[in-house]
Structure 1
């Protein structure tokens, strides 16, 4: 499935709250956008480098880990980032790399948070939020049209992950044709893998109900809410509140 190119211009619409700063962290292919109480970019770079090194080393020793589109088992002695990705893939029936962006976002947020205040990390559309205030995460099913709807998240929901997959935009692999599937969960690795698995089901608008049905089956694994869009068919289910943005 050919994807439309999408840049990072959506980040220009983010406005840090009082007492927050925003900064970008780029390490090889990883490109993160962070909101934090201070410029923690040096610490964030160190964390990203460490996580990427652990993933790359594991892929060298276990080539199937990076190539598989189905779940892959990982030893309990493997790096935590690799184990989180593998577990998410097993829960959702996809390869571990389907969870890489969400896993990195959460582990960077966890490292930067440490009682310092609110931290939000976005990694290619996958977001993990430690927040004490209400947040709105905008959805982008059509890069040319911009964001028109978002998910409002109350303070008592955090920490929370909001991860998305698309068969039309971005560079990540999707086997479906849907515009967007977004999943809410406490676990970003799971949310990322679930968004991929659910988006794989979208071939046309009639498949939106299949996505909702499958999403409800994933609730015991940690799914809290889902948004799906394919053409003119839009649906949402679970604990989420949609609001107009833009």
Structure 2
């Protein structure tokens, strides 16, 4: 009896450790089992990428007008479902000179999903991105930043990089409620090669949208220039100042 209890406790401990490790790995910004993973770019050049998740939506035109006025090119990680719904908005993102990235079709977490589900989510969204007119490399950002084994493996098969981020101000409720707090967080944490994640596609995210102009103006005053993710990747390992 005692031996059986020890075996059960040991098995429980092993399952717990494996589950905990899997959870940590699935959320890691700096490690995955396969393929290229970028959290930030290793450079001393003052370059930074603004990236926006989700959409396109009916707010796309307002966002594009703002970026045009600021003379900033950004990377939009769009969902296939919304790109399918807002096709003209997606085309307008490309026509404005911005980069489209893949944020899955349905925005479901890509953990504990079948290979066929993951492939369909990636390939269908890639097809919609091409139909929007985007011709550059398509990078992938996992919904909620979650990935484990199958997603990175399939991305590698498709020669796609996983793009994470090192600054995410509006992912913290205590910061997301204030555009000034969002601005301060970005300015205080930015460094050469940073990838900034913002959510600006919905009315509920107005504080993030309202923060963009001052983020750009402040970082420019500090000598930063803004790049798309693909442009930023070209600076990898360039350490000239």
Normalising by structure 1, report the TM-score.
Answer: 0.27
Structure with higher helix content? 2
- Greater radius of gyration (CA): 2
Structure with higher strand content? 1
Normalising by structure 2, report the TM-score.
Answer: 0.27
